[in-house]
Amino acid sequence: MKNEIITAHKLDFEFAPYPNFFEGENWDRYRVGTVEGLWSCDDENYLILSFINSEPNNGHLTDVLQWFEHSAKRDRKNLKILCINNRRFYRHLYSKRGFTRIKGNNSDLIKFIEKK
């Protein structure tokens, strides 16, 4: 199957079910290159709960964000990153990746995607 997009490092988006232990949870696992984590979506947003990069500074975070932003545009949703505890990563997303602070929330960021 051909990918919908070609990312900076030509990486595929892989996903699989994640065991949800509580009623109402609906998370899936993802992997793009050396980055993996959990994601879900609601009516308005793609939600990313975690990023784990087994080889930091290799640029694969760019590919992850390219995949999620592409999907958000396609599905007319925004991109929200939840529970960011790493302040350096938070500042990076805010200052270099186009994410916006959510008023009254110090751990989540959102990127409003143009809805065509």
Q: Is residue 6 part of a domain?
A: no
| Whether the Cβ atoms of residue 80 and residue 48 lie closer than 8 Å to each other | yes
Q: Is residue 1 part of a domain?
A: no
Quote the CA–CA distance of 44 and 41 in Å, as a whole number.
Answer: 8
Count of domains forming the chain: 1
The pLDDT tens digits for 56-89 are 999 999 999 999 999 999 999 999 999 999 999 9
Model-level pTM greater than 0.75?
yes
Q: Is residue 37 part of a domain?
A: yes
Q: Is residue 57 part of a domain?
A: yes
Q: What range does the domain containing 104 cover?
A: 14-111
The pLDDT tens digits for 7-51 are 999 999 999 999 988 888 899 999 999 999 999 999 999 999 999
Residue 23 has what pLDDT?
83
Residue 2 has what pLDDT?
64
Q: Is residue 101 part of a domain?
A: yes
Q: Is residue 7 part of a domain?
A: no
Q: What is the CATH number of the domain that holds 102?
A: 3.40.630.30
The pLDDT tens digits for 20-29 are 888 888 999 9
- Which residue type does 32 have? V
Query: Is residue 1 over pLDDT 60?
Result: no
